[in-house]
Amino acid sequence: MRVRFTRPAQADLKRIHAYVSQENPTEASRLIAQLMERGRSLGDSPYEGRETDEPNARVVVVPNLRYFIFYTIAGDEVHVTHIRHTSRRRPLNWQR
């Protein structure tokens, strides 16, 4: 399946990069590359993530990095919708 990072997911990646870059720009780039690679791998096994309480939404945990990758499956595409560190709470205005 094709994998697409939605605008909110792209914004999440930019925020993650900006935050980590404050301490270590090299590590920030490596982290983003790993998160994107993990997101892309969902195209090979889109149903590996567990279902969430949001309709049609699934999540995988990137354990070594401690990030959640939220996504939906639409037709023959996987849409990565959000990427969030495991220590962060769900936003009150959560939107897919």
Tell whether pTM > 0.85. yes
What pLDDT sits at residue 90? Answer: 61
One pLDDT digit (tens) per residue for the chain, 96 residues: 999 999 999 999 999 999 999 999 999 999 999 999 999 999 999 999 999 988 889 999 998 889 999 999 999 999 999 999 988 766 555 554
CB atoms within 10 A of CB 61: 14
What pLDDT sits at residue 63? Answer: 82
What letter would DSSP give residue 95? Answer: -
Hey, what domains does the chain have and what are their CATH numbers? 2-85 (3.30.2310.20)
56 sits in the region (left: phi over 0; alpha: psi -120 to 50; else beta) called left
For residues 48-59, b (16+ Cβ closer than 10 Å) or e, as one string?
ebeebeeeebbb
Number of H helices, E strands in the chain: 2, 5
